[in-house]
Each structure stands twice: as C-alpha cells, then as structure tokens.
Structure 1
Amino acid sequence: MAEALVDLWVRDTAVDPDPGQDGSDAGSLDEHERERWSRLTDASAARAYLALHLLARSEVGRLLGRPPGSLRFDRTCPDCDRQHGRPLLVDDPGLHLSLSRAGTVVALALSRSGAVGVDVEQGAGTRFEGFGQVALHPSEREGGVDNALAWVRKEACLKALGVGLRVEPASFVTPRAGVLTEVVGGMPSLTVVDIDAPAGCAAAVALVSRPGPFEVRHH
C-alpha cells in the first residue's frame, strides 16, 4: 500500500514574492476571494492573502490541467451557510486542500490521501496573557509546553477535521507528532507532524488517514 502523501508549500511573501502578488493576476480569483482581499486594509496582509490564493489556484490548476481562474471552490460554513468555511474543490472533491496565513507567511497543503489541515503561526502571536485558558488543556498549563507549537498542531488537526475553532483547542491535549490520535471524540483519527517554517514561526500539517506515517513533499 502506497504511503500517504501531502504536498506542501510554505512561503514568506515579504522575502519570496510571487508574480502577480502586486494584484496584476487578481482576475483569476473568484468573487468571494476578491471581496475578502479588498477588505484587507494592511498592505502586507493583502499581499500575503493574494499570494496564497494565487498559489493555491496555480498548483491545483496545474494538477488538474485547468486554468486557475476556472476552478470552483465551495466554502459553505455548516453553522451559517456563509462562504467562510473550509474550502472544498467542487471540480475534484478527492483533492483535499488547506490554506493558512500568519503575517507575511503563507502555507498551502494538498493531498489525495485524506482530508488535510495546515497551520502556521507567529510565535509572538501566542505570547499573551490568557493564552493558556484559550488554547491549552488544563493538564498543559503548568508550563513546559511550546505555545506556538501546541497551537499550530491543534489548529491543523481541527482544520483537517473540518470543524475549525467550533471545537475549543483547550478541550484536548496537544497531539504528539507522528502518532495517530483521536483528538475529537467520535471523529476520525489523524496524524500531525511539525514542518519547517520561517524564523519566528511554527507550522504543522495534519492528515486524516490510516495508521502509519505520511510523507510531506516540500515545494
């Protein structure tokens, strides 16, 4: 049986700009993406958002042999039916994807092996009073836990399960890297691994899959 595989892209858009990041290729975005992009008033955040979504469309389009602008995504939120939920590829539901953005750093994960979740976070973003109550299980609040690593592992898992922050990160212990774990009772088990990220950031990717390791192919 072939090993499960996740294709991964991590970019710092401040030092690794992509063509079109200036907005010249924004025409390939759909109406929802353009509306979200236009509402970002911080220039660096807007560039990062645009770069991430152009990257996703470019790589998915390449895999499917389709023009990036022709791809259709459904982001229906199960709670309110608005278009801000996990992106699902209408044209090929068997190709799972996940996107993450923290400051100027962006990450994209694609997999046909199962539902995938990727998360990147700036370490500084987890150093605030009350973080433990928001993100850490009571058994983790005595110290010895890397806040940023705990956060990205948990959020990657919740994104892979499709529940996002509707499940409180503090309700479960940070899963160990490389170990198949049931993080939410009654939902599929998954495996999370840490991935390289630019200085000052932490990142992780999770895959809902069979027991055993999965390969992360960096691009």
Structure 2
Amino acid sequence: MGDASVDVWVRDTALGAAPPEGGRDADRLDPLDPLDQHERDRWARLGDGPSARAYVKLHVLARSQIGRFLGRSPESLRFDRTCPDCGRQHGRPLLVDDPGLHLSLSRAGTVVALALTRSGPVGVDVEQVAGTQFEGFGQVALHARERGNGGAVGGGVATANATAWVRKEAALKALGVGLRVDPASFVTPREGVLAEVVPGLPWVSVVDVDAPTGCVAAVALASGSGPLEVRHH
C-alpha cells in the first residue's frame, strides 16, 4: 500500500452463502474461528439470518486481509473499539498492534465493504439505494442547497441521493465523528476533490467505489493530501 492510496473490498455475502445444514453458522465453528469474543458476542446479538452471516463474513474478511498485509494470523489481531462518547467497546475498530494501518467496515443488508490504508484515517460506506427511499430523506441527509435539485450529485434521484449519503457517511467516518455531525449540515463532497466537511478538522477526499447492483459505496481519506488512489479487490 502506497501514499494516498486505499485498498477496498466490496462483497455480496449472499452469493453462495447458503447456511449449513442443521442450524446457524455457530453450529459449525469454522467461520467464527478467527473472531475474538467481542465479535462473537456481537454476532450472537444479531440473531440468525443474512445480516448475522454478513457480519461474520465481513469481520473474517477484515482479519484475513489485515493478517495478510502484516504477515500475522487472523486470530492474533487485537482491536480497540473504545467509543469516544461513552468509553464502551462499540466504536470504530483500531488495530492495537499496528495503529498506522487504518481500517473501516460497513454493511448494508448482505453487502459488506472493507477499506485498508496507511495513508491516514479512512472511512468506507455501502448502502442499498432502496434504503434511502423514504419520506423526509432530504431533511435528514441533504444540505438545504441540495434539496429539490433532482439529485444531490447528478443522475437519477434515487441513486444520486444514495450516493450523497455514502459519500457523507464515509467522510464522517474518516474524520472519526460519525453521525455525531449532522449530514445535512454540509454539502456532499465532490468525488476526488478535497473538501472541508467539519470546520477545524482535516479535509477529506472522497471516491465512489464499485458496488453490486442496487447498492452504492464510497471511501474517504482524511489527510489533506492530493489525489486518492483506490484499489478494488
């Protein structure tokens, strides 16, 4: 991984994801073997079904790829997930043994996304286009200047609105503030153009990412550097 570059994986976990005969994935522990207790507990709270399987596959994917980059076994990796607001372990994951390797995770239904980089804090977001089709979306997600213009970033309204959402959430993730900052308080960052999202914090560069049909995705890097190279896997 080089300067101002991000490696990104987007997968639809429903493809070839039939559950094992006889019950949940936990009844066959192999898929869970690399996961730590926190990840297993979170998986258990999700119950059965596609969302739970997507959670497992995303975290196994993350551990596998990070382990490959570092030459470490996936199960040996340790993460700190301390929430900056309450101190509980449900914040964004930070790699304890190599804090210079930044990561971000996202899920939308059965589709998952992972971003890894050494170029700076990173955020990735994936969303189903249908998930943004609700009354009041504009007030929740779009800046006043973007509402009613036929789509915040051009193209069809549905896809444009979903793209605006993933760009904004990816940027806020990269800045480490998440939805504590109102997405409607700033204009959607243009792709590949450095933007100030939150005054006083680093500028971000956002790039759209290839995603399965019916979904959109974006990745953001908070560094204030130049063009961002995204490598799709």
TM superposition score category, shorter chain reference: over 0.9
2:107 is matched with 101
Taking the TM superposition and a 5 Å limit, the aligned residue runs for 1:43-192 are 43-145=49-151, 146-192=160-206
Matched-pair contact (CA < 8 Å) for 1:119–1:152? yes
1:25 maps onto 2:31 in alignment: yes
Q: Any gaps of 5 or more consecutive residues in structure 2?
A: 152-159
Larger Rg: 2
1:211 maps onto 2:203 in alignment: no
Identity %: 73
CA distance in 2, matches of 1:144, 1:155: 21
Matched-pair contact (CA < 8 Å) for 2:3–2:118? no
Q: Residue type matched to 2:194 in 1?
A: L
TM-score normalised according to structure 1 size: 0.95
1:5 maps onto 2:5 in alignment: yes
Following TM superposition, by how much is the alpha carbon of 1:11 offset from its aligned partner in structure 2, in angstroms?
A: 0.3
SS of residue paired to 2:15: coil
Matched-pair contact (CA < 8 Å) for 2:4–2:225? no
1:14 is matched with 14
SS of residue paired to 2:33: helix
Q: Residue type matched to 2:36 in 1?
A: D
Q: How many residues align?
A: 217
CA distance in 2, matches of 1:167, 1:95: 25
CA distance in 1, matches of 2:62, 2:185: 31
Matched-pair contact (CA < 8 Å) for 1:156–1:205? yes
SS of residue paired to 2:230: strand
CA distance in 2, matches of 1:190, 1:16: 36
User: CA RMSD of the aligned region, Å?
Assistant: 1.7
